[in-house]
Amino acid sequence: MDRTGVSFGRFRLDLSERRLWRDGEAVPLGSRTLDILCVLASAKGDIVGKDELMAQVWPRLVVEENNLQVHVSALRKALEDGKSEETHIVTVPGRGYRLAGLKRSLSGGDVGQERSTEQASSEKTSIAVLPFHNMSGDPEQEYFADGMVEEIITGLSRIKWLSVISRNSSFIYKGKPVAIKEAGDNLGVRYVLEGSVRKSGKRIRITAQLIDAKSDSHLWAEQYERVLDDVFALQDEITMCVVGAIEPSLRKAELDRIKRQRPRNLNAYDLVLRSLPFVLGHIPQDSEPAIPLLEEALRLEPDYAAAHAFLSRCLHHRYARAGLREEDRIAGIHHAREAILLGSDDATALATAAHIIALDEHDTVTALKLFDRALELSSSNIFALNFSAVILAWMGKAELAVDRAKWALRLNPFDLDNFRVHHALAIVHFYGERYADALGAARRAVQANPRFSTAHAVLAAALWRGGYALEAKAAARNVLEHEPDFSIEGVRRVPGGLEPAVFKRFADAWREIGLPE
């Protein structure tokens, strides 16, 4: 019998015999409670959604969510009886649960080798930049404070040896009181940067402090007061001070790497900041308000690479999900190509452009080179990891797609865009005919972003092939609810054109379910 198992803290779980031990003594657990622990342990430190837990622990049964909560509470109580200082059952807000502190496999293999954010942060020095407080008293200035954080994250991401948590992950703390040590533990980082912004007229005041989250000690703090014309130099200065505090012996070459070409026109920069909340959406209704803002930014500064890249993304949304109009496709490709020419040192611009070049132009050779270049510039760039995972999945390049997806999840466990990497994993598993795995990943993608119609379509296909016909039909109805113009032909013309064999496997299932041709 396979005697695999995992260890965490003072506990050891034998998966083959389904027994939990603490310091050599058996820990009594109810069967459902033990089922939950086994599912979490089998995930090897990855997050398991509530829906997936309920599907595995109560297969083919309809139960209330509070049943899950009761058993999770019982499990936590049993583990706390071990007097461990660690919290082993971690709640990931809006996502599910994961088992923390995994150490090793009982059989010497890799079953218990946790590849969570905790291990990722031990492999590379890691930092999270929390949302800066807007001290201006004007809610309209909120976008500027958020933009400052975005720029500092971008600068830090250009340091080769530094893992930087994405904006979306760290922004789960926006508007909330923060215990730095807890935030560091939840995000899996060693260092945390926090601060505030006060903008008044043409002047700006910024305070920032760097904290060692493990010891809760302050390493560096500073206050700056400048005119807005110096805002980019100020962002670079803060970034350099942070890096210098973490690694005093840093070479000048690494400091120079932080700097990148910035827009010359502050009004254009302001317009791009205002567009970001809309750009980060994924359907035309979300991104449409960003288009005039970005067009105006480019009128003021035609060479603004980020504006070109973000505009190409908005035009792609309009093309792919609002009529497949050729003028939108051509315009999106044009702006993506401009971003490539003008943004050779901007990882986000390159990754965003690569996504559109792959989907709308089907130039996968160029797209993959651009993704690689973006990750050379910033190995923790969430756009490069997420977008490339999806493109690689649709291309049938399973191994690299899974590597990118899992690294994105480890590095940025709370990023709102993680629905893309779950989506990528679902595509990979479905094409590999691992329908149970595809179903779990597809459920996570839908849970993370219920408005993403293609995720519902992938879920429908996984349910259908898994033998859940009624649920598959319901998922297909959800596809059309979120995208009334959805068609199999529409998918063929966008991601389906990357590798016909991958697309055909989905198309066959969708036709059987009854989705429109």
pLDDT band at 423 (very low <50, low <70, confident <90, very high): very high
CB neighbours of residue 17 within 10 Å = 11
Token pair recorded at residue 395: 């291309």
Same domain, 132 and 237: yes
Same domain, 237 and 267: no
The answer to whether residue 390 is domain-embedded is no
Q: Which residue has the tokens 């959406």?
A: 281
Token pair recorded at residue 25: 């003594």
CATH of the domain at 247: 3.40.50.10070
pLDDT of residue 55: 79
Same domain, 251 and 125: yes
- Ranges 29-38, 99-108, 284-293, 408-417, most confident: 284-293
Q: Which residue has the tokens 């293609």?
A: 454
- Helix or strand run (H / E) with residue 232: helix 231-246
Q: What is the per-residue pLDDT across 46-88, written as a single tens digit (0 to 9) for each?
A: 788 887 788 788 776 666 677 787 788 888 878 874 444 456 8
- Which is more confident, 451 or 357? 357
pLDDT at 91 over 80: no
Average pLDDT over residues 132-136: 84
Token pair recorded at residue 150: 């975005």
- Alpha-carbon Rg for the chain, nearest whole angstrom, is 24
User: Cβ contacts of residue 3 below 8 Å, gap of 6+?
Assistant: 14, 16, 17, 106, 107
**Long-range contacts of residues 376-379, Cβ cutoff 8 Å, at least 24 apart:** 377/158, 377/345, 377/346, 377/347, 377/350, 378/154, 378/157, 378/158, 378/164, 378/347, 379/160, 379/163
Same domain, 456 and 498: yes
The answer to whether residue 220 is domain-embedded is yes
The answer to whether residue 294 is domain-embedded is yes
pLDDT at 393 over 90: yes
Same domain, 243 and 271: no
CATH of the domain at 507: 1.25.40.10
Dihedral of the alpha carbons of 117, 120, 125, 129, in degrees to the nearest 10: -30
Give the integer Cα–Cα distance in Å for 388 and 404. Answer: 7
Same domain, 188 and 269: no
* Angle between helical axes of 326-342 and 347-361 (0-180°, round to 10): 150
Q: Which residue has the tokens 């583990």?
A: 79
Q: What angle do CA 72, 439, 371 make, to 5 degrees?
A: 105
- Helix or strand run (H / E) with residue 13: strand 11-14
Average pLDDT over residues 266-290: 80
Residue 31's Cβ-count burial label (10 Å; 0-12, 13-18, 19+) is: exposed
Same domain, 11 and 134: no
CB neighbours of residue 161 within 10 Å = 12
Question: Domain end: 207, 234, 258, which one?
Answer: 258
List the single range of 21-30, 119-128, 338-347, 434-443 with lowest mean pLDDT.
Answer: 119-128
Same domain, 245 and 280: no
The answer to whether residue 281 is domain-embedded is yes
Same domain, 65 and 173: no
Average pLDDT over residues 135-140: 76
Number of domains in the chain: 4
The answer to whether residue 384 is domain-embedded is no
Question: Domain end: 91, 114, 137, which one?
Answer: 114
Same domain, 247 and 267: no
Closest CA to 495 of 374, 396, 349, 353: 396
DSSP state, residue 304: -
Phi, psi of 223 (to 5 degrees): -125, 135
pLDDT at 252 over 50: no
Q: Collapsing DSSP states into helix, strand and coil, what is residue 211?
A: strand
Q: Counting every residue, how long is the chain? A: 517
- Which is more confident, 92 or 179? 179
pLDDT at 114 over 50: no
pLDDT of residue 94: 61
CA distances from 430 to 445, 505, 508 (A): 14, 8, 12
Domain that holds residue 48: 5-114
Same domain, 208 and 270: no
Same domain, 246 and 160: yes
CA distances from 80 to 45, 87, 92 (A): 19, 8, 19
Q: Which residue has the tokens 């800066």?
A: 132
Closest CA to 436 of 60, 168, 122, 56: 56
Closest CA to 189 of 199, 178, 204, 201: 178
User: Cβ contacts of residue 266 below 8 Å, gap of 6+?
Assistant: 228, 229, 231
Phi, psi of 505 (to 5 degrees): -65, -40
Mean pLDDT, rounded, of the chain: 80
pLDDT at 515 over 60: yes
Dihedral of the alpha carbons of 430, 425, 344, 263, in degrees to the nearest 10: 120
pLDDT band at 123 (very low <50, low <70, confident <90, very high): very low
CATH of the domain at 77: 1.10.10.10
Q: What is the per-residue pLDDT across 489-510, written as a single tens digit (0 to 9) for each?
A: 888 888 877 888 999 999 999 9
Query: Which amino acid would we find at residue 133?
Result: H
pLDDT of residue 392: 93
CB neighbours of residue 36 within 10 Å = 24
The answer to whether residue 386 is domain-embedded is no
Give the global pTM.
0.62
The answer to whether residue 499 is domain-embedded is yes
The answer to whether residue 392 is domain-embedded is no
Closest CA to 26 of 87, 78, 74, 93: 78
Question: Domain end: 211, 228, 258, which one?
Answer: 258
